Amino acid sequence: MTKKSGFEFLEHMADAYVAAYGRDLAEAFENAAAAMFEVMTEIERVKPEVEDYIEVEATDEYALLYNWLEALLVKSEINEMLYSKFEISEITRTNDGLKLKARIWGEKFNSKKHQQKVGVKAITYHQMEIIREPNKTTVKFILDI
């Protein structure tokens, strides 16, 4: 197992199984995003030069985690960007469920600078967990690589 600040990779046969931690749900989601990009590259080499914004909605926390990671993955692929800094400004309840608003920072992918590890094809619900403890939230999820 590789241990990084805020997340770790768990044993899994073929995919990337991640546990991300935070003091609350927002911080755990931020670390989940960092873990997803760490699967693809060394995020410490991705400068937070370009700021962007993401807003996602979902019916529950599991769908919110899925939609958050999927929105980041799609934005990364469409804009040929890598992201390394994530700041969730709010997670609020709505009549239909939950809404997440976040600012993200990164830079254009550069093959000379950014080591390519493995591509993330999709986020999955398989073995997804959200565990709340006093002053700690853990989210676990599998990335299809």
CATH code where residue 22 lies: 3.55.10.10
pLDDT of residue 2: 44
Please tell me the total count of domains within the chain: 1
pTM: 0.91
Confidence of residue 14 (pLDDT cuts 50, 70, 90): low
pLDDT, tens only, 111-126: 999 999 999 999 999 9
Domain that residue 133 falls in: 3-144
Assign 9 a pLDDT band (cuts: 50, 70, 90): confident
Q: How confident is the model at residue 12 (pLDDT cuts 50, 70, 90)?
A: low
- Contacts of 117-120 with C-beta under 8 Å, sequence gap 24+, read 117/39, 117/40, 117/41, 117/42, 118/16, 118/39, 118/40, 118/145, 119/40, 119/145, 120/16, 120/36, 120/39, 120/40, 120/73, 120/144, 120/145
